[in-house]
Amino acid sequence: MKTGAKILIEGLQREGVETIFGYPGGVVLPIYDELYNSSLRHILVRHEQAAAHAADGFARASGRVGVCLATSGPGACNLVTGIATAYMDSVSIVALTGQVPTSLLGNDAFQESDITGITLPITKHNYLVKRTEELGHVIREAFYISRTGRPGPVLIDLPKDVSTKEIEYEYPESEQVNLRGYQPTYRGHTRQIDKAIEMMMEAERPLLYVGGGVISSNASAELVSLAEMMGIPVTTTLMGIGAIPCDHPLNLGMLGMHGTRYANYAVTESDLLIAIGVRFDDRVTGKLDTFASQARIIHVDIDPAEIGKNKRVDVPIVGDSRAVLQEMRERIQKRKEYERWLSRIRTWKEKFPMRYPRDGVLRPQFVIEQLSELLAGEGIIVSEVGQNQMWTAQYYCFRHPRTWITSGGLGTMGYGFPAAMGAHFARPDQVVFDIAGDGSFQMNIQELGTVSHYQIPVKVAILNNRFLGMVRQWQELFYDRRYSYTELPAVDFVKIANAYGIDGMRVEDSKDVKPALQAAIETDGPFILDFRVEREENVFPMVPAGAAINEMIGGYSE
């Protein structure tokens, strides 16, 4: 005889889970009691939101399913932002929530909330388990749904009596999941792939536009190989960074609102856009009808609903990025030279490089560049959201997939620090840095407790400008410098870190940046760096909201 709680823990282990992030409470007591003697590692966070982000960071860094656990009501509700973050960026996490006993469901019982109802629009699927007998099967299905097809979060809501009830149960050895309403397409349609190749042969100015789908399907090698074989330049979205090494001659860096000028110019002049694992997000396209308006469009995505959602597509290919890229490469028979196009791009790259003033002032871009040099593209870099995120995307040289972890779609401030904790458990061999702003860091600053408790060696580099910098930038540019509620008072982050037993250092001079970063890297445990950076530095270049992406403002390049 086994309790539901035991079936749950066994089920998680059968799915290969080793670490979960959670926070206990009343209705999950039976589950926590089962964890007490389990070999499953549980990391006690300081706020449930952090548990969801940590599971998400774990999933992005490892390519496996991340798991978080919270109690009913407030615990479950605190997961919501984390689940929505994972949903928007297609990250596979399984969220487990306790629920009041089935006899009380719907009665407004203590700490009851309809979490399956609340998370309906932000999960790939969710379950309210009403019978212990269903539990084993639900766990199997949840993991399957979360990691296959277009990955996403799945929530399992477990009423207390479902966890306590004892039943005869053997976890099935190799139960096939067969869902008649869920059959993802992995292989692309061969005729469509041939049509795409034909278009590449006809094109003069082709461009690969790749995103998070290439990272999540582990298709980086296939992408680089196709790009090199055909000599087609590549631009990545924020989520696609790392798919191709930053210093690869065919890499144009990021496109879109804070993309490079050369990437945006290339999109605008391209005659064939090969979009892979992307969704034509508004932060990428700017004004939609001018985006790639001279180009025919090939769109590869595993989710048919993304194809044609925002932009009309000439050749839709539903399939897994990796499988399609592989087949494309195999079916290409001829090569074509795009030399004129590549030389035009080289000219743009020379004329409009990414640049900022190197005047000895402690600028945030300088901090990122120094870190990039020190780590030489190794390590895992997690960011918060806002200016810190954009500067990291622009100035850190990423060389590998799954080493850049950021909240792209939802843009969740406070994501980075807990996600960095999760990334550490996925890749304990790697140095993990959270690049933060003073605003974002204070959104989940309580996780200093977790990091200290378990001595999680996460390094935090706070680009402290005492502003909510990105909002301030918009106020400067579009609201006549009326800094309405964006200025933050100074905080001594080193003192706060010390209070948690964590080492830290404040840096006020640009010449101290490198030694400080070095000290952080050489510290075994967690470390907090408080960089007092230039306060009103802006992220440039920039496409104003609603403008075409080649109408960029700012930048020190002209």
Tell me which residues are annotated as active site.
48, 110-111, 160, 470
At closest approach, how far in Å is the CB of 335 from other proteins? Answer: 36
Stretch that binds other proteins, among 37-45, 123-131, 163-171, 192-200 (CB under 8 A): 123-131
Distance CA 232, CA 333 (A): 16
SS3 string, 74-113, reads HHHHHHHHHHHHHHHCCCCEEEEEEECCHHHCCCCCCCCC
Among 74, 117, 515, 546, binds other proteins (CB under 8 A): 117
| Interactions with other proteins, residue window 128-147 (CB under 8 A) | 128, 145
**Rounded to the nearest 5°, which phi and psi values hold at 47?**
-160, 135
Least distance (Å) between residue 183 CB and other proteins: 9
Q: DSSP class of residue 467?
A: B
Q: How many residues sit close enough to other proteins to count as binding (CB under 8 A)?
A: 17
Residue closer to other proteins, measured from CB, 303 or 551: 303
Give dist(CA 252, CA 346) in Å, integer.
10
List the interface residues with other proteins, window 147-206 (CB under 8 A).
179-182
Query: Given phi > 0 = left and psi -120 to 50 = alpha, else beta, which region is 355?
Result: beta
What does the block give as tokens for 306?
């993304």
Q: Does 424 bind other proteins (CB under 8 A)?
A: no
Binding mask 287-326 for other proteins (x = CB under 8 A): ----------------xxx--xx-----------------
10 Å CB burial of residue 330 (0-12, 13-18, 19+) is: exposed
Q: What is the DSSP string of 164-175?
A: H-EE-----TTP
Quick one: 124 or 296, whose CB is closer to other proteins? 124
Minimum CB separation from other proteins for residue 309, in Å? 6
Q: Which segments of 121-172 does DSSP mark as H helices, in order?
A: 132-147, 160-164
Q: Exposed, middle or buried, 173 (CB in 10 Å: 0-12/13-18/19+)?
A: exposed
Query: In this complex, which beta carbon is closest to other proteins, that of residue 47 or of residue 125?
Result: 125
Contacts of 459 (CB under 8 A, 6+ apart): 431, 432, 433, 434, 520, 521, 523, 526, 527, 528, 529
**For residues 250 and 255, what is the distance between their CA atoms, to the nearest angstrom?**
14
Q: For residues 77 and 128, which CB has a smaller minimum distance to other proteins in the complex?
A: 128
**Among residues 124, 140, 165, 402, which is the contact residue for other proteins, using CB under 8 A?**
124
Closer to other proteins by Cβ: residue 145 or 513:
145
Contact of 152 with 123, CB cutoff 8 Å: yes
Question: What's the min distance (Å) between Cβ of 194 and other proteins?
Answer: 24
Q: Which is nearer to other proteins, 127 or 467 (CB)?
A: 127
Q: How far is the CB of 264 from other proteins (least distance, A)?
A: 26
Cα separations in angstroms, 510 against 48, 218, 230, 279, 516: 37, 38, 43, 39, 10
The nearer residue to other proteins, 114 or 551, going by C-beta atoms, is 114
Is residue 552 a contact partner of residue 394, using CB atoms and an 8 Å limit? no
As measured in angstroms, the least distance from the Cβ of 125 to other proteins is 4
Rounded distance, CA 37 to CA 552, Å? Answer: 58
Residue pair 419/53 in contact by the 8 Å Cβ criterion: yes
Residue closer to other proteins (CB basis): 177 or 545 = 177
Binding mask 479-518 for other proteins (x = CB under 8 A): ----------------------------------------
Amino acid at 232: I
180 or 334: whose CB is closer to other proteins? 180
Shortest distance, position 64 Cβ to other proteins, whole Å = 21
Residues 6+ apart with CB under 8 A from 488: 438, 439, 442, 466, 467, 468
Residues 342-361, one symbol each (x = binds other proteins by CB under 8 A, - = not), give --------------------
Written as six digits, the tokens of 45 are: 């966070």
| Closest distance of CB 303 from other proteins, Å | 7
Report, in Å, the least distance between residue 150 CB and other proteins.
8
Taking the complex as a whole, the smallest distance from the CB of residue 409 to other proteins amounts, in Å, to 15
Q: Tell me which residues in 440-469 interact with other proteins (CB under 8 A).
A: none
- What is the C-alpha end-to-end distance of the chain, expressed in Å? 73
Structure tokens belonging to residue 391: 């500067």
Among 121, 429, 482, 489, binds other proteins (CB under 8 A): 121
- Report d(CA 132, CA 165) in Å as an integer: 7
Do the Cβ atoms of 424 and 433 come closer than 8 Å?
no
Phi and psi at residue 162, to the nearest 5°: -70, -35
Binding mask 77-116 for other proteins (x = CB under 8 A): ---------------------------------------x
Pair 538, 471: CB distance under 8 Å: no
CB of 157 to other proteins, least distance (A): 11
Query: What angle, 0 to 180 degrees and rounded to 10, lies between the N-to-C axes of helices 339-351 and 261-269?
Result: 150
Provide the binding-site residues for other proteins, judged by CB under 8 A: 116-117, 120-121, 124-125, 128, 145, 179-182, 303-305, 308-309
